[in-house]
């Protein structure tokens, strides 16, 4: 008597399971298309003679010639890369010890410090930019390269601390104890055991801190002063409609560099696990 009902239940479950499976595939494909369609359009436009895809103009490399002869845009790109590298390095040098302190030590104000570390990640860019501008003016710092590095170092700190804390939370301390039992001192344990194991987390934080610094506009707008930055330069091109033919090639090269960097990082070690 119970077998027909059981068969009907199994059939309904199978239908629902199939529907959910295909639905998830459709959702995934839709998200990928939504994310990559604008990027694909930019890449295609970098090789066309006109600024729209339809009607499609002729294929040309003149846009890339315009890019590599636009010295102001190239200089701004080099400046942004330098700022991103320095600020990500500063955030790493501060964030790794801070992550160790939050993960392995108990002290007064630890919970408050953990919350403060996340604040730059949650604070709106315009609020952070204005507040840092006011602070720099109060202490007498002129807006420029140094203030931008300071702002981006603070902004990049959560990207370093959070992965390090997460990795140390699941770290097997027996590995360090075993190294000490074999005669290794504290420095050797740190260099040969701890840091190699948590290095993917550090690398993940560095990559994201670098990328967030390189693509930032709002904070640079407030604290960058007259410093040339890629985002400010491209914004000026859009506002004044000057040299816009070099924007699509520059965006294409940035997408290519970021994709290659992430592909290499993923193949060497799965850093995305810690992001």
CATH code for position 133: 1.10.3720.10
Residue 51 lies in a domain: no
169: containing domain: 62-274
Kindly give, in sequence order, each residue whose CB lies less than 8 Å from that of residue 186, ignoring residues fewer than 6 positions away: 180
Domain count, the chain: 2
What is the distance between the alpha carbons of residues 137 and 124, in angstroms, rounded to a whole number? 20
Contact status, residue 210 vs residue 88, Cβ threshold 8 Å? yes
Query: How crowded is residue 93: how many other Cβ atoms within 10 Å of its Cβ?
Result: 12
* 108 and 231 share one domain: yes
Confidence (pLDDT) at 271: 52
* 196 and 267 share one domain: yes
Backbone phi, psi, residue 228, to 5°: -80, 125
* 190 and 235 share one domain: yes
* 14 and 122 share one domain: no
* 127 and 26 share one domain: no
* 101 and 208 share one domain: yes
Confidence (pLDDT) at 183: 81
What is the distance between the alpha carbons of residues 20 and 4, in angstroms, rounded to a whole number? 24
* 32 and 97 share one domain: no
Residue 53 lies in a domain: no
What is the distance between the alpha carbons of residues 144 and 159, in angstroms, rounded to a whole number? 23
* 10 and 119 share one domain: no
* 193 and 74 share one domain: yes
Confidence (pLDDT) at 56: 67
* 13 and 146 share one domain: no
DSSP 192: I
State in Å, rounded, how far the first CA of the chain is from the last one.
54
Residue 57 lies in a domain: no
Residue 172 lies in a domain: yes
Each of the 275 residues of the chain gets a pLDDT tens digit; together they read: 445 555 556 566 676 777 777 888 888 888 888 878 888 888 888 888 776 666 666 788 888 888 888 888 899 999 999 999 999 999 999 999 999 999 888 888 888 888 888 888 888 889 999 999 999 999 999 999 999 999 999 999 999 999 899 888 888 778 878 888 788 887 888 888 888 888 888 888 898 899 889 989 999 999 998 898 999 988 888 887 777 788 888 888 888 887 877 776 666 555 555 45
């Amino acid at each position: 008597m119970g077998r027909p009902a059981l068969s009907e239940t199994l059939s309904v479950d199978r239908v629902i399971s199939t529907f959910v499976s295909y639905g998830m595939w459709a959702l995934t494909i839709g998200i990928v298309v939504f994310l990559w369609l604008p990027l694909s359009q930019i890449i295609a436009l970098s090789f066309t003679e006109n600024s729209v895809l339809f009607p499609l103009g002729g294929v040309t490399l003149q846009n890339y010639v315009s890019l590599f002869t636009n010295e102001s845009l190239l200089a701004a790109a080099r400046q942004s890369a330098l700022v991103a590298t320095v600020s990500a390095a500063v955030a790493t040098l501060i964030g790794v010890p801070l992550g160790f302190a939050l993960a392995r030590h108990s002290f007064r104000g630890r919970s408050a410090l953990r919350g403060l570390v996340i604040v730059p990640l949650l604070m709106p860019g315009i609020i952070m930019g204005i507040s840092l501008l006011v602070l720099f003016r109060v202490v007498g710092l002129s807006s420029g390269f140094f203030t931008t590095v300071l702002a981006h170092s603070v902004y990049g700190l959560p990207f370093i601390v959070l992965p390090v804390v997460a990795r140390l939370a699941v770290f097997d301390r027996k590995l360090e104890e075993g190294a000490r039992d074999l005669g290794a001192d504290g420095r050797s344990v740190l260099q040969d055991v701890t840091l190699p194991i948590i290095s993917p987390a550090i690398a993940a934080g560095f990559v994201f801190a670098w990328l967030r610094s390189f693509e930032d506009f709002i904070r640079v707008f407030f604290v960058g002063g007259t410093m040339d930055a890629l985002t400010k330069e491209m914004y000026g091109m859009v506002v004044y409609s000057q040299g816009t033919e070099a924007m699509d090639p520059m965006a294409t090269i940035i997408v290519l560099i970021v994709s290659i960097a992430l592909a290499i990082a993923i193949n060497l070690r799965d850093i995305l696990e810690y992001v």
